[in-house]
Amino acid sequence: MQLFVGLGNPGRAYARNRHNIGFMAVEAIAREHATPPFRKAFQGACSEGRLGDDRVALLLPLTFMNESGRAVGEACRFFKLEPRNVTVFHDELDLAPSKLRIKSGGGNAGHNGLRSISAHIGNDYKRVRLGIGHPGDKALVYSYVLSDFAKSEMAWVQALCDALARNASLLAKGDDAGLQNKIHLAMEAAGFAGDNRE
């Protein structure tokens, strides 16, 4: 059993925010793999299904970003999961838009959602970092992440989430390099140049 967690803020007002790309990614995985409708559980919304041979719970914390760890901790206790069985999908300021990187453990780079999760379950979980770019000035970060993706950006957001959803079974079985390569090829084919490989 694995737990895939999308980070974001609940409610329609936040739905297209850059900070919510983690929600978008996990919702795309649910659609692609036809998991049952999300239901309220663990201070969030949860769905369970299979990605290839692996059973996976999909969780969208509804606690707001800064308290995401409460939902993740509750789900981990219920499913009796170690941090190594948890994968968190989140926005990444330090990656260019449309880029994806995967890492296990490490620091939280000022991301309040990750900080909250680490406080509840420790640091040894996997992070799928979804690049949203940086506004160029630290003072602008707060308003930047809480602003909506521009209409012109939604094409790459959709392409990235769809490619991730199609290949999520690679992530479930631990083939992180294989997933990054598939994402790179898919984004290149969709006309979004750049390198998503290791």
pLDDT of residue 193: 65
Question: Which domain, by its residues, includes 97?
Answer: 2-189
pLDDT of residue 153: 94
CATH code at position 68: 3.40.50.1470
Rounded CA separation 124/48 (Å): 22
pLDDT of residue 102: 94
Look at residue 19 and tell me if it is in a domain. Answer: yes
Look at residue 198 and tell me if it is in a domain. Answer: no
Look at residue 170 and tell me if it is in a domain. Answer: yes
User: ∠ at Cα 164 (145, 194), nearest 5°?
Assistant: 70
Look at residue 197 and tell me if it is in a domain. Answer: no
Look at residue 194 and tell me if it is in a domain. Answer: no
Per-residue pLDDT of the chain (198 residues; tens, 9 = 90+): 999 999 999 999 999 999 999 999 999 999 999 999 999 999 999 999 999 889 999 999 999 999 999 999 999 999 999 999 999 999 999 999 999 999 988 887 778 899 999 999 999 999 999 999 999 999 999 999 999 999 999 999 999 999 999 999 999 999 999 999 999 999 999 888 655 554
Question: What are the catalytic residues?
Answer: 19
Q: DSSP alpha helices (H): ranges in the chain?
A: 21-32, 68-79, 112-121, 141-145, 154-166, 168-172, 176-189
Look at residue 102 and tell me if it is in a domain. Answer: yes
**Considering only CA atoms, which of 103, 4, 100 is closest in space to residue 51?**
4
Look at residue 196 and tell me if it is in a domain. Answer: no
pLDDT of residue 194: 57
Q: Quote the number of domains for the chain.
A: 1
Look at residue 195 and tell me if it is in a domain. Answer: no
pLDDT of residue 108: 78
**Considering only CA atoms, which of 83, 62, 88 is closest in space to residue 73?**
83
